[in-house]
Structure 1
Amino acid sequence: MKSPSQSADSESDQLTAKGPYCIRFYENCSHSPASWLVPQALSETEENGFVDRSPALPIFEEPCVAAIGADGKAMALITYYYVPGRCNITLGYTKSDHRRKGIHTALFNALVERVTKRGDIFSIFSRTHAKNLAAQAAFEAQGRTKEYIEYFFHLKDAVVGKEPTAEEMRMPEYLVEPFDTGPDGLKSMQAFINEKAAEGYALHQVIERSTYQWVLIFKRDVEASG
């Protein structure tokens, strides 16, 4: 039997030119079919240069709304959480082969409908990188309004209260590493984790994609690197 976080608590049928898909809400993204999209989204974000020096990492245990194809695989997702009076979107991502089909807009509209029914939410907050013009255009097409732009002039590291070293400036805050254990099993994974620890990274999360394939997410270990 599936746990509540593994089961969709609601869904609706949608249709694209290439076939149907369902929009489903999950209480816990890490236990949903869409969880594997998160490391892919983070990796693509970094490759496109849409990562600041200290990016905010989505919380995988947050609720999510996802587009699930007829094959049971996730095509897109939005993760979010609630604060008093507001719903905060932490990640929106659509696989490259499913873009420009209105799927992300369908997910956003489903989220709008859900939070409206709560009755205690007054706005939905989202943000994107200043260079991500495609996301900005999509947001505005969905009816989101740009209310302010943030600027930062970093003087000191906000976490440890000291100026970042040159090495820390070169080290990204998070690493997303696909890993195949192969015939050596989990021993090879532990050796890889130890290597990253020596480089100044602590294991943050492990996502299993298949029997041998994993995604390891590392966070820069401030204490070790300090």
Structure 2
Amino acid sequence: MKGGPKARLIFDLDGTLIDSAPTICAAGNALLAELGRPPLEAGTIMSFVGKGVGNLVAGMLREGGGVPGGELAPHLARYRAIYEADPCAGTEPYPGVRETLAALAEDGHGLGVCTQKPDPSALRILRGLGLMPPIRGFTGGETLDVLKPDARMFWHCAGQLGEGPAIMIGDSEIDAATARAAEVPFVLHVPGYRKASVAEIAPDARLEDYGALPAIVARLVNGRSPR
């Protein structure tokens, strides 16, 4: 797309750029083990992902019989301590992510991440896995006082990348709703952690292989006006 309009590409993190399910599930089951509870299946734990770490921990505890003591805060803090001890262990970028991000940045696109994940662990993962740079913009689950699908998260991230058309790339219904709220195109990473069908989400484009993303971006930029 050299010579064409350049875009601000805002990526979700978990299920979009990285497959973090093994790490999330290991930390969740470690917390449950400390509480004397049996482990949960990966699919059950991942069903709580997408609405912030508080929702994740609350969901796991409810599934296992309720929140011990009736107070979520100490269990949330303990989960975070377990997870943040080594958030990169077991987590990998999806195939082709590094190469595609490098190519998009070289072509002049601005790259950002907008995630519900707490800021320290998200930044540690991005840097530890060699994704930041080329990613330059960042808005995490603690950056603002709102979470996705609030469009303020999206535009906070996009605002760090200058001007130009903006596109949301994510894997879930929440990412799709964020794109709708921001009135920008949505690219669905199909192999991610969505709960609804592709047809229900109705993305502007489907991404199954990261090697196809530059062409998808070119098509959306040429077919959409910037905000």
Question: Do Structure 1 and Structure 2 share a fold, with TM-score over 0.5?
Answer: no
Structure in which a larger fraction of residues adopt strand: 1
Q: What's the TM-score once normalised by structure 1's chain length?
A: 0.29
- Name the larger-Rg structure: 1
